[in-house]
Structure 1
Amino acid sequence: MESFHASLKKECVYPVPVFEDYETAAAALFEYVHAFYNRKRIHSSLGYQTPLQVEIATLTSQMAA
């Protein structure tokens, strides 16, 4: 979990000096987590696949069983 928070800060929070308001910050965090981190960013703990790839593979194998 610490690795996620470090990535979140480096890639989403620190590049923006100050968010305009709470809604802007919440939208930026939502976009980072749901559009980038969970869909495009590879994770070493998942065999260098994205969480989406692992989820699709899991669902596919469950459907085949």
Structure 2
Amino acid sequence: MKSPKQGAQTPLYCATEPALENDTGLLYRDCKHYNSTVIFYDNVASKLWDESENMIKGVIGKDA
């Protein structure tokens, strides 16, 4: 298990590291690029995004 501070390290690194400014769609673990063995499908990701957005709109309102 990681502490909250340890868990925040990689997202903070990705958000603030200038060298990553043009990187997109990559996975990071422990502040390093990570190659997952899991296959990601764009169509599934798009459906998940749309459904998540619809759920959020249902909670906070349609103009969100």
TM-score by length of 2: 0.33
Structure (1/2) with the larger strand percentage: 2
Higher relative contact order (CA 8 A, sep 6+): 2
Structure (1/2) with the larger helix percentage: 1
